[in-house]
Structure 1
Amino acid sequence: MLSNAALVVIGGLPGTGKTTLSRLLAARIGAVHLRVDTIEQALVRSGLARHPVGPAGYVVGYDLAEEHLRQGLTVVAESVNPLAVTRDSWRDVGARAGVPTAEVEVICSDPAEHRHRVTSRSVDIPGLTLPDWEEVRRRDYEPWNREHITLDTAGAVPQESLNSLLHRLDSLRPGNS
């Protein structure tokens, strides 16, 4: 799957490890890392939008991903991806670009560890306000309704999670079981 252009969609609640994993994966496979948080904060800084931005950040992300894919680049698209419609839209991007798409839901099954991550992380996008633990717990997040990779980062260091994800992605390649 990763020898040619592909779309890897990474979603999950804030604080599960999506950004760390996406950065590691993109660096390892030479992919473009496309982060919806970065797009949304750029829209806010431009003065054209305020948080919550709504669908604008995702729509920009879809178009950027499709452009990169059509250039033959692999894209790691990272966002919370809380709704089935957002996940469907990412799949549509891959289909329009004619590339395979892998969907990855990152979870942290240990509530204490997840809470610690949410409350102790630092902002890496200037001006972005991170959600607190109660906002993460109350967030609308629809269950994933089709086959996808679920990666639990609880108790794992980032490199272990990356290795697990690479193994799972490799198993999706035709001819592998």
Structure 2
Amino acid sequence: MLIVLGGLPGTGKTTLARLLAARLGAVHLRVDTIEQALVRSGLARHPVGPAGYVVGYALAGDHLRQGLTVIAESVNPLCVTRDAWREAAVRAGVPVVEMEVCCSDPVEHRQRVTSRSADIANLPLPDWRQIVEREYEPWDREHIVVDTAGQTPAESLESLLRAATFPAADSH
């Protein structure tokens, strides 16, 4: 199964993806990690553009064809990126669950953004203005929305688990 987690920076995507990966025994594929590796290689500079996503789609496909559950985590701001994740699942012959992580409380969201630090060396984090002004197309199909406002990460994970059915950790 491919689980696609998208949403603006600072909404809790990485935290949820890590918790969900641990719960399911899944591969956590993080586009930020891929993009920063491309920058460290000298082949790209920030903003990386589509390269990180393209590498992510390929890695997801490889893992899915090995029978692994993959959690693909990225901002996923455009319909074209969402379609490409779906296509990776179709090519691998596995189901896909699409989830948008949001923080509906702008005060809490801004506090998260301004107080966090990068967990990937030299990864530039966007500031609040960049997040608010970022191009982010509305989702044009059914998907699960997980609102992390006013919740602990564990509570957000439970909300996510209630909203979708996932394979057991030992079934991949």
Please report the TM-score for the alignment, with normalisation by the length of structure 1: 0.93
Of 134, 152, 167, the residue aligned with 2:162 is: 167
Counterpart of 2:78 in structure 1 is 83
* Matching residue of 1:93: 88
| Aligned counterparts of 1:115 and 1:29: Cα–Cα separation in 2 | 30
Query: Which residue in the other structure is 1:105 paired with?
Result: 100
The one of 44, 48, 56 equivalent to 2:43 is: 48
Residue of structure 2 in register with 1:3 after alignment: none
Q: Could you report, residue by residue, the CA deviation over 1:90-137 in whole angstroms, capped at 9, with x for unpaired residues?
A: 000000000000000000000000000000011100010100000000
**Aligned mates of 1:147, 1:100 — CA distance in 2:** 14
Q: Give the counterpart of 1:132 among 117, 127, 131.
A: 127
2:144 is aligned with what amino acid?
I
Letter of the 2:96 partner, please give it: T
Amino acid at match of 1:166: L
Structure 1 segments, 4+ long, off by >6 Å, are: none
Unaligned runs of at least 5 residues, structure 1: 1-5, 172-177
Q: What is the deviation of 1:167?
A: 1.4
Cα deviation for residue 138 of structure 1 reads 0.4
Q: How many residues align?
A: 167
Q: State the TM-score, normalizing by the size of structure 2.
A: 0.96
Report the secondary structure of 1:170's partner residue. coil
Percent sequence identity is 74
Which of 65, 68, 72 is the aligned partner of 2:67? 72
Cα distance between partner residues in 2 of 1:140 and 1:109: 18
Cα RMSD (Å)? 1.1
Q: Which of 5, 12, 16 is the matching residue for 1:21?
A: 16
- Matches of 1:9 and 1:77 in 2, distance apart? 5
Q: Show structure 2 runs of 5+ residues with no match.
A: 167-172
**CA shift at 1:87, angstroms?**
0.2
Letter in 1 for 2:160: L
- The counterpart of 2:4, out of the listed 2, 9, 27, is 9
Q: Point out the more displaced range, 107-116 or 158-167.
A: 158-167
Counterpart of 1:37?
32
- Report the AA paired with residue 153 of structure 1: T
C-alpha distance in 2 between matches for 1:113 and 1:161: 15
